[in-house]
Amino acid sequence: MIFISFFYKIENDPRIYYGKYYSDKILQDHDGLDLLIEDIVLFGLNKFRKQKNYLELKSKDIYIGILSISEEKIIPILSSPKEISCFNFYYHNNKIYVNGRLIWD
């Protein structure tokens, strides 16, 4: 398993949000880790926004900054499910959580 910790901003919102993305593997051929996870972050945020009747975001509306990437064979990365509530966005095993609440399974 590999995890990516990141922060993200939404256009016209001064707040900074935090996310964690778990994956079995990361493609080596990409144009940047931020762009690699952008689609799933955008998908998850729009699912959440639809539930709240907020306007849908477009790719140009979000900015992702990578904080770290870790691989389980190098650093043990096991965390308890309690950590989900610490992140604004959390992706693991094809499940998406926003603000600690499951929004996609």
Q: What is the pLDDT of residues 59-94, one digit of tens each?
A: 999 999 999 988 877 666 667 888 999 999 999 989
For residue 8, pLDDT over 70 is answered with yes
DSSP structure string for 21-52:
EEES---SS-S-HHHHHHHHHHHHHHHHHHHT
Q: What is the mean pLDDT of the chain?
A: 90
DSSP structure string for 3-17:
EEEEEEEETT----E
Q: What confidence score (pLDDT) does residue 72 get?
A: 74
Q: What confidence score (pLDDT) does residue 30 get?
A: 63
Q: What is the pLDDT of residues 86-102, one digit of tens each?
A: 999 999 989 999 999 99
Q: Which two tokens stand for residue 101?
A: 């609440």
Task: Measure the CA–CA gap between 71 and 83, rounded to whole angstroms.
Answer: 18
Name the DSSP class of 18.
E
Q: What confidence score (pLDDT) does residue 25 get?
A: 72
Q: Which two tokens stand for residue 43?
A: 């998908």
pLDDT band, very low/low/confident/very high, at 31 (cuts 50, 70, 90)? confident
- In Å, how far are 14, 24, 45, 96 from 91, measured between CA atoms? 23, 12, 11, 5
Task: Measure the CA–CA gap between 2 and 23, rounded to whole angstroms.
Answer: 5
Q: Give me the residue label for tokens 């398993």.
A: 1
